[in-house]
Amino acid sequence: MPPETSPASPSSADAKGARRVVYGAVAANLAIAVSKLVAAAATGSAAMLAEGVHSAVDAGNELLLLLGMRRSNRPPDESHPFGYGKVLYFWALIAAASVRFKRGMRVEEVEQAIARLEDTVSHECPTIRHVFFEFR
């Protein structure tokens, strides 16, 4: 009878295929990021610069997934007798939260938060206001 694999522990071929896909996505996003950043430098476009940074951050998220894949393959030890398979889900959660944070922040919201902070700090300590907000 062949040993059964649970959904939490994919076969070696599945894991290799998943890693290959993530490596391909990292390479593609890095190539896209470089091309967008070169276009931003050539044209001076702030929008293209933002898109280049966006693609670079996407590659960073995929690197988090690769980190999770690598760490989840560690063998069981005394402190983790069932292995590290669930670590992959933690790193996938971190990558998903990063995507949500990246896409959830709007420029207007950041500017409003800075303005509120600036108003609060200016009343309480003028020195802090001068050091942090006069140079932006």
Say what the pLDDT of residue 108 is: 63
Residues 73 and 35 in one domain: yes
Residues 97 and 115 in one domain: no
Q: Choose from 77-86, 111-120, 125-134 the range with maximum mean pLDDT.
A: 77-86
Using alpha carbons only, give the angle 125, 129, 134 rounded to the nearest 5 degrees.
160
Q: What is the DSSP letter of 79?
A: S
Total domains present in the chain: 2
Residues 29 and 81 in one domain: yes
Model confidence over 13-64: pLDDT tens digits?
Answer: 787 888 999 999 999 999 999 999 999 999 988 888 888 888 898 899 999 9
Residues 29 and 49 in one domain: yes
| Residue 132 pLDDT grade (very low, low, confident, very high; cuts 50, 70, 90) | low
Classify residue 6: in a domain, yes or no. no
The range of the structural domain enclosing residue 134 comes to 106-136
Classify residue 21: in a domain, yes or no. yes
